[in-house]
Amino acid sequence: MVKKFIEKELREEHEEIEYEDTNVRELLTLMKDNSELISDLAYAAIAFDSKDLAEEVSHLESEMDKMMYQIRLKCMLSSRTIEDAEQLSGLLQVASSAEKISDAAEDMVELLDMDVELRPLLPHILRDAEEKIHTLKVYKDSSLVGRSIADLGIETQTGIKIIAVRYKDRWIYGPSGETKIHGGDLLIIRGVEEGYRELKKVAHAEESWGQVIS
């Protein structure tokens, strides 16, 4: 039964690939984006000693394994000639480096399972990094509240990327543009100091978003 299902899946994928390789492209983009998110989350997990973030790293890592398997299958199925095989092996090498990054990130967060006496692990590790990782609390009267990340254009206006949002007791990892900012949210962000200082003023309701972006 299972075998039949897999054969059917493979056949379908095979047919799809004969006409278009959209899926490989989408998978590769997703793997690259995930590898960037996963390493940011791993560093943040270490810096802020967060088991929640570490768990998400492990979850993303297993997703990456599945994607790697998928992309490998698809590439093998679409190879016809030696030229195909050469080009596809390059493509697979890029995919597998994204997977390698996620493995490294998962290994990194295993540190959180270590002895209590070693805590905190590396609270200062990112203090001097070029793009630092910070947490930022959004005050209820901030002008960010009620608007979406894309609507505000946070990254384009400040150079700050939001890696994760904690809304009430729930985490949103790698939030999309539609994600709304709420009063009381905790943001984990990454970017240049200048942008962090600007965003902090708005999040803490010292200045309005309009003032900062003008």
Which positions lie near another protein, rule CB under 8 A? 21, 24-26, 28-29, 32-33, 35-36, 39, 42-43, 46, 83, 86-88, 90-91, 93-94, 96-98, 100-101, 103-105, 107-108, 110-111, 114-115, 117-118, 121-122, 124-131, 150, 153, 155-161, 191-192, 194-195, 198
Residue 135 C-beta: closest distance to another protein, Å: 18
Nearest approach, Cβ of residue 58 and another protein (Å)? 14
Residue 20 vs 141, nearer CB to another protein: 20
Of 7 and 193, CB closest to another protein: 193
- If DSSP codes are grouped into helix, strand and coil, which group holds residue 163? strand
| Kind plus residue range of the DSSP H or E element containing 190 | strand 186-191
3-state class (DSSP) for residue 185:
coil
Helical pair 51-78 and 2-19, crossing angle rounded to 10 deg: 70
Q: Which H/E stretch holds residue 173?
A: strand 170-173
| d(C-alpha 11, C-alpha 13), whole Å | 5
- Minimum CB separation of residue 167 from another protein in Å reads 21
Q: Which is nearer to another protein, 6 or 129 (CB)?
A: 129
- 183 vs 207, beta carbon nearer another protein: 207
Triad 92, 98, 99: Cα angle to 5° = 85
Enumerate the β-bridge partners of residue 189: 134, 162
Q: Helices marked H in the chain — which ranges?
A: 2-19, 22-47, 51-78, 82-109, 149-152, 154-158, 193-203, 209-213
Query: In the complex, what is the shortest distance from the CB of residue 80 to another protein, in angstroms, rounded to a whole number?
Result: 13
Nearer to another protein, 8 or 197 (CB): 197
CA angle 146, 53, 50 (to 5 degrees): 105
CA angle in degrees (0–180, nearest 5) for 121-126-130: 165
Q: The tokens 């995919």 sit on which residue?
A: 95
Instruction: Give me the least distance between CB of 170 and another protein, in Å please.
Output: 22
* Nearest distance from C-beta of residue 169 to another protein, angstroms: 26
